[in-house]
Structure formats: structure tokens, C-alpha cells
Amino acid sequence: ISRSPLKEQKLVNLNEGSKASNKSLDRKHWILQQRRSLPIASVERRLVDEVRKNDTIIIVGETGSGKTTQLPQYLFNAGFCRDGKVIGITQPRRVAAVTVAKRVAEECDVQLGQKVGYAIRFEDATSTSTRIKYMTDGLLLREALLDPILSRYSVIIVDEAHERTVHTDVLLGLLKKVQDARLKQHKLDKPYINNVVKFDNECHSSNMKFSPLKLIIMSASLDAKGFSEYFCGAKAVYVQGRQYPVDILYTYHPEPDYVDATLITIFKIHLDDSPGDILAFLTGQEEIELVDMLVHERLKQLPELSRNILTVPIYSSLPSEQQMNVFRPTPSNFRKVILATNIAETSVTIPGVKYVIDPGVVKSRYYNPVTGMESLIIMPISKAQALQRSGRAGREGPGKCFRLYPESEFWKLIDSTVPEIKRCSLSNVVLQLKGLGFDDIIGFDFMDKPSRSSIKQSLQELYLLGALTDDCKLSDPVGIQMTRFPLDPIYSKALILAGEFKCLEEMLIVVAMLSVESIFYSPREKLEEARSAWKKFSSPDGDHLTLVTIFRAAVEYREKIRAATNKEKAIDKSLSRWCRDNFINNRSLKHALDVHSQIKVYLKQMDMALSSCGDDVLQFRRCLTASFFLNAAEKQPDGSYRVKANGQKVQIHPSSVLFRTKPECIIFTELIQTNQIYVRNISRAWMPELSKYYDVES
């Protein structure tokens, strides 16, 4: 008997359908089991009780015990979202907010953006029905600008507080005030009258009654004392973790090249050790992509049977749709190698890891209080970080951690990382606090006070940018407008100025392109080919206009493809091919395109028209000079440059299109510190504009 092909197809589809639903049932069951076996599950009731009894508590628990994914669900089930209130969980890192929200949505069996959602800068996956909301700490600070008492939230969980990012620290200070204000109002049983924080008039003029705000500080570091003292003796609760023994191995001598040492270690484990995934800590996107490429290159030299390695990157600016790849189960017979930044230290826990490779370094913000300039530098981690990293190997069974430095070096590491607020520029913090109505920055209740001199530096910088008035108040409209942009103050100012200079379209592209780590893809063995591919984009005026050209070429190409097909996947694929042909980093370009469209939304909300200067390059250079005059540098007889604002000696980075030209005066937008101090992303300054800010010798 022959069946018609159509029927047969239907039959197959039906079968697939039932397989799929079986599979999803299996997965649900598996997830439920996983949840139940987490260490935190056995103390659910006690935790909920503690939160009921105390307005502020500190929860300390080992990484992977289930704090981030489970506690919000416990509180939801215990009725903390009654009356439509929301439980907010803040994360220092966007990737953590996104991946955890996706996981929790799956655990709750709801669509992301419904009951469970997330919001990060430039991306909002929440709706009016969202009750469990993961977000970055920076985002909650921005929400406070519009709703100073965070009236939507019944509970706020400040997660990963041990990281002590500058946003976390500011948020802690703010939440203390918000909590006081809500409590006072609650006791008085009167509409809230603000005397602490600035108020948004319409939002709170009604006679709403606010419940007290529950505050939970979660940390993976065992030292809860600092938080407890800061929150007037708040109770600390410990959640017991589960940790198997981890063998720690050191090198005999310091490794001169940790990237190479990482590669060697990956292959040594792969060839000599038992099955189990590898987690390697690297410092950033560029390094991760380099190692990724080198692993694949070296794999080719192995016999076919040993090529069963699967690499997965994870870092902050990785496009959202690729972030979840690290959580995919490793195919049998394969070894997964996770190439991560310190995001995998405590923020996200990836199952299956048995081996950890720790080169002992991290990329951090570093602020030089003398010059007032901030740069990113690669520096040694702390002991606490080294312990967290090795701990990742012992979650599911005994593991091994390869520290790529001698044991003597470990003992020289500082105990714990210095809070970021003590080593970063405070301009953003000061602007935000001013926006929130805190005028006395030096008097603000910081957990660790930043130095007076760095606060003063930032006040001065903001004054020079026109954000503050003579008496240190937020200026109207510039300062107020600047608080609305989710950008560093100098970039917000650049956009505002570009509106006036009629080159906002170009500046918006520049800001979006500068928000990614590296737009160029430069494989070692094809460097010459790459350089000649980039030549067609390069502008004699500098890197900024070069970036504009690349962005426009990519968009033009995308639109051409779009005219032929409306399938997003096909468009994506073509664009990746275009990137590959032009040696442009596809992931970075995608991120820049995203950021571009998101900032555009802000500009629209602020009624700023997207004007273009067309071919009038001078106009753009004028605007760039006016925006970044603080970053102007002048050529010295020896070919180096001197930053005009502070005398700092710098070199042009070899990647700049102006590396050989060496103009007399440049504007830069990035400072990188290795063995030398380099400036990257450079344009020729426009002297008549610069002379408005400095005495320029003719």
C-alpha cells in the first residue's frame, strides 16, 4: 500500500510534535528536579520568614547555591507581589541579568517578558504583568530618576553586592534613603512628602500609600560584616553551599604570555585528563576571540579523534541570542571550553565545569586622580577572586584548577578587590546623584567614601562640560538633558552639541561604534589582507569618520539585501559574510547597530532631530573638538603627544589611521594602558575651535 507523500509528511510532523512535547515534559521534570536539589531549596521557608521579619537582610551564599534564580521565585510564591508590586533584582552585569531572567522564565514556565522579565540599558524585556524583574544596577538608578521612591517595588534584591561596582555602591546609598522615606510615610499613614529625595511631581501627587521597602543584599563573599554595619546592624543569613574538593595546580615560574599558557593548558587537559568541561578566565572580548581562533587553528593539527572540542565565548557585549549558548548541554563525546571574562566568577554559573584555567588577571577600570583620566588596564586579581575562580571547578564533583602563576604570586595578591568607586572616574556618579537631587556629594552616605580630590575633579569636569552651574547645581537644560542619556557624561554632551552643530547623525554613529570593544577583526595570519580591506573605509580626518564610513557601508549593504529578501536570518547571514570579507568583527558590529537604534529612541523622545553634516567634514571636526576638548593632545618633538588638559604623555595606538600621519593636534576618545599609555580612536583637532578652550600657540 502506498501512502500519499502528503499524508506521510503529516504523519512525520505529528510524530515530531509528540516527541517534542515529550521532550518538553522531560525538560520540565528535569528542571524541577534541578531546582529541588539546589542547596537553597532546603531553606526556602526560613528565608521567606526572615524576609518577612526583617526589612533589610544580607544573604551570603556560595556561588551556584541558587540565590539569584530561586529567591525571587520563593518571594513571589509567598505573596510579595500582591497589589501588583514587583520584585526587582539588580545585577552588576547585563549578561547575568539576561541569562538568569531567561532561565527563571523557563523555570516558571512563562514567556520571557511576562511574569519574569529583564531590563538592561538599551533593552527592555518587561511588560505591565512583569513581577520578577532582573535588571542591571545602573538601570535601577536610572529608574530612580523618574520614580525616586521606587514605588513599584515591594522588594529590591541587590545581587552580587560583593562585586562593589560603582553602580552597586551608589544604589546601596540611594536605597537606604528610599527605605527610610517609605517607612516614614508608611508609619505616618500619609501621602509621602519628600524631604530627602527629589520628586517627580505627577507620579506621586496622589494619596497613594506606600508599603515599606524590603531590601535584600546578596553576596558570594563570606564577609557580610561591612554590609551589616552599613545597614545599621542588619541581620546576615548564610546559605550553606555544596563544594567538592578542587586540586589547585600552580606553574613553577611566572608565565610571560598568559594567552599562550592558557592555550597550552586547554590542550594539555583535553589530551591528558578525564572528560569534563573547561572554564578559562580571560580579560575581554578581543582576547577571547583570539583564543577561540587559536584553539581551532591548533585543533587542525590534532588527529581527527581528538578534535572534539567545542568553544563557547561569554562576555558582556556578546549579542543576547548568543549568550545562552554556554548553557547548552555539551554534546556527548565533546568537551566544552568556555572562554569567559570574570563574568563567570560569580555572576553566572555554568553547569558541567570540571577544570578551571586562571591566568590570574582581570581587566579593570583604573583612574588616575592626578590627571583625572580613566583607562582600562589588565591587572592581577585578588585572592578572593582566585578562590571564586577555583571554586567553579568543584560544583558537581571533584575538579582541578590550573593557576597560571607560581604559588608565591598567589600569596602576594591583595585579599579582596578594591571597590570600583575608589578607582574610577566619578563624573557619571556625580551627575546621577545631582539628577536624583543629592546636592552634597561629599556628604553622601557611601559605604566606602571616594576621595575628596576625585569628587572635586569630577565636579570640575562636569562644570567644564557645562553640566553644572557656577554654584554647582545641575544646569538647565544641558545638565538635565545629560542625566537623561544612559551614557558617560562626555558622550551625552557630544550628542547634545552635535544637535547644535547639525551633525547628530554622524555623532550618533560614533557613539554607538565606540561602545563596542573592537570593531576590527584582525586574524594574525591575515593581517596584511585585513589592512588592505580596511583601507577603503579609512578617512584622512581620523578614526571617528572611519567608523562612520564602516557603519554606513554596513547599513547600506544590509538595506540592499533587505530589498531582496525579508528573511531576517538571511539578512543576518549576508551581513556576517560582508563582515568577514571586510575583516570587520560581526558581533561587535551587531552590538553597535543595536546601541545605535536604542540611542535613536532616546533622541526621538528628547525631540532631537537627526541632522547630517553631509560632506562638510570640517563641521564634524569642529563638533568633535568642542565635545572632546578635554581629550585634546599636542604633538611633541619626539613624536609622542601631550594631553593639553593635564600634561600626560601619550602615544598614538598603532591601530589608528593617523598612526603614521601624526597630526599636530589630536582629539582622542580612548586611553589604554599597557607598558605605555596609548590613545586610540583619534581625529584631527579643529584648531579654531580648540583655541576657545586653550591658549593655542600659532
Q: Which does 65 bind (CB under 5 to 8 A by kind): ligand ADP, Mg ion, none?
A: ligand ADP
- What are the φ and ψ backbone dihedral angles of 167, each rounded to 5 degrees? -65, -40
- 97 or 510: CB nearest ligand ADP: 97
Task: Pick the stretch among 63-71, 109-117, 192-200, 281-289 that binds Mg ion (CB under 5 A).
Answer: 63-71
Cα within 13 Å of Cα(187), Cβ side: 5
Picked from ligand ADP, Mg ion, none, the partner binding residue 69 (CB below 5 to 8 A depending on kind) is ligand ADP
Name the minimum Å distance from CB 160 to ligand ADP: 8
User: Which one of ligand ADP, Mg ion, none is in contact with 38 (Cβ closer than 5 to 8 A by kind)?
Assistant: ligand ADP
Pick the closer one to ligand ADP by CB: 103 or 434: 103
Round to whole Å and give the CA distance between 145 and 23.
Answer: 45
User: Which residues, at least 6 apart from 162, have a Cβ–Cβ distance to it below 8 Å?
Assistant: 219, 220, 221, 223, 346, 384
Q: Shortest distance, CB of residue 564 to Mg ion, whole angstroms?
A: 45
The minimum distance between CB 68 and Mg ion, in angstroms, equals 3
Taking the least distance from each CB to ligand ADP, the nearer of 100 and 667 is: 100
From 67-75, 141-149, 195-203, 293-301, span contacting Mg ion (CB under 5 A): 67-75
680 binds, among Mg ion, ligand ADP, none (CB under 5 to 8 A by kind): none
| Cβ nearer to Mg ion, comparing 70 with 375 | 70
What's the min distance (Å) between Cβ of 655 and Mg ion?
37
CB of 96 to ligand ADP, least distance (A): 8
| Dist CA 537 CA 428 (whole Å) | 33
Give me the least distance between CB of 223 and ligand ADP, in Å please: 17
Choosing among Mg ion, ligand ADP, none, which partner's interface includes residue 64 (Cβ < 5 to 8 Å by kind)?
A: ligand ADP
Instruction: Report H helices in 583-664.
Output: 586-605, 617-627
Q: Which of 110, 105, 176 is nearest to 134 (CA)?
A: 105
Q: Which is nearer to Mg ion, 90 or 364 (CB)?
A: 90
Q: Of the two residues 70 and 483, which places its CB atom closer to ligand ADP in the complex?
A: 70
The residue among 329 and 443 lying less far from ligand ADP, judged by its C-beta, is 329
Site membership for Mg ion, residue 342 (CB under 5 A)? no
Q: From the CB of residue 169, how many other CB atoms can be counted at a distance below 10 Å?
A: 23
Shortest gap between Cβ of 392 and ligand ADP (angstroms)?
10
- Please choose, from the candidates 8, 9, 31, 27, the residue with its C-alpha nearest in 3D space to the C-alpha of residue 19: 27
Which of the stretches 68-76, 301-309, 425-433, 445-453 binds Mg ion when contact is defined by CB under 5 A? 68-76
Residue 251 Cβ, how far from ligand ADP at the closest point, in Å? 29
Count of CA atoms in the C-beta half-sphere (13 A) of 657: 20
Report the residue number, 66 or 226, with the smaller CB distance to ligand ADP.
Answer: 66
Residue number with the shortest CB distance to Mg ion?
68
Strand, helix or coil for residue 42: helix
Cα 260 to Cα 297: distance, rounded to the nearest angstrom: 13
- Chain CA centroid to CA 579, Å: 24
Q: How far is the CB of 259 from Mg ion (least distance, A)?
A: 28
- Choose between 65 and 368: whose C-beta lies nearer to ligand ADP: 65
One-letter amino acid for residue 78 of the chain: A
Gap between the Cα atoms of 662 and 649, Å rounded:
15
CB 32 to ligand ADP: min, Å: 13
Residues that bind ligand ADP (CB under 6 A): 38, 61, 63-70, 99-100, 102-103, 327, 349, 351
What is the Cα–Cα distance from 572 to 565, expressed in whole angstroms? Answer: 11
Residue 308 in grid coordinates: 572534539
If contact means CB under 5 to 8 A according to the sort of partner, which of ligand ADP, Mg ion, none does residue 99 touch? ligand ADP
The one-letter amino acid at 244: Y
Minimum CB separation of residue 456 from ligand ADP in Å reads 38
CB 342 to Mg ion: min, Å = 14
Q: How many CA atoms lie within 13 A of 348 on its CB side?
A: 30
- Among residues 56, 65, 68, 669, which is the contact residue for Mg ion, using CB under 5 A? 68
CB atoms closer than 10 angstroms to residue 691: 13
Q: Count residues binding Mg ion (CB under 5 A).
A: 2
Collapsing DSSP to helix, strand or coil, 522 comes out as coil
Q: How far is the CB of 679 from ligand ADP (least distance, A)?
A: 39
The amino acid present at 383, given as its one-letter code, is K
351 binds, among ligand ADP, Mg ion, none (CB under 5 to 8 A by kind): ligand ADP
If the CB atoms of residues 96 and 263 are measured against ligand ADP, the closer one turns out to be 96
Cβ distance to ligand ADP smaller for residue 148 or 313: 313
Q: How far is the C-alpha of 96 from the C-alpha of 124, rounded, in Å?
A: 14
User: C-beta of 69: minimal distance to ligand ADP in Å?
Assistant: 3
Taking the least distance from each CB to ligand ADP, the nearer of 38 and 509 is: 38
Q: Which of 366, 385, 383 is nearest to 375 (CA)?
A: 366
Q: Which of ligand ADP, Mg ion, none lies near 100, with the C-beta cut-off 5 to 8 A by kind?
A: ligand ADP
The DSSP call for residue 584 is B
Compare residues 64 and 148 and give the one whose CB is closer to Mg ion: 64
Return d(Cα 387, Cα 123) in angstroms, integer.
Answer: 33
Q: Which residues contact 679 (CB under 8 A, 6 or more apart)?
A: 631, 633, 641, 650, 651, 652, 653, 666, 668, 670, 671, 672
- For the segment 97-156, give every residue that binds Mg ion (CB under 5 A): none
Q: How far is the CB of 565 from ligand ADP (least distance, A)?
A: 32
Residue 327 interacting partner from Mg ion, ligand ADP, none (CB closer than 5 to 8 Å by kind): ligand ADP
Phi, psi of 61, deg, nearest 5: -160, 150
With binding defined as CB under 5 A, does residue 388 bind Mg ion?
no
Q: Which residue has the cell 565565548?
A: 313
CA dihedral 541, 543, 544, 547 (to 10 degrees): 120
In this structure, the number of other CB atoms found within 10 A of the CB of residue 504 comes to 24
Stretch that binds Mg ion, among 64-72, 117-125, 138-146, 455-463 (CB under 5 A): 64-72
For Mg ion, give the closer residue by CB, 100 or 318.
100
Contact 446, 168 (CB under 8 A): no
Residue 375: φ, ψ to 5°: -145, 170
Residue 304 exposed, middle or buried by CB count within 10 Å (0-12, 13-18, 19+): exposed
- Residue 286's contacts (CB-CB under 8 Å, 6 or more residues apart) are 517, 518
Using CA atoms, how far residue 524 sits from 290, 529, 530, 583, 657, in Å, is 9, 10, 10, 12, 19
Q: Quick one: what does residue 349 bind among ligand ADP, Mg ion, none, with the CB cut-off 5 to 8 Å set by partner type?
A: ligand ADP
**CA dist 157 → 72, 82, 538 (Å):** 8, 17, 47
The site partner of 61 among ligand ADP, Mg ion, none (C-beta below 5 to 8 Å per kind) is ligand ADP
- The site partner of 619 among Mg ion, ligand ADP, none (C-beta below 5 to 8 Å per kind) is none
- Of 68 and 681, CB closest to Mg ion: 68
Interface residues with Mg ion (CB under 5 A) are 67-68
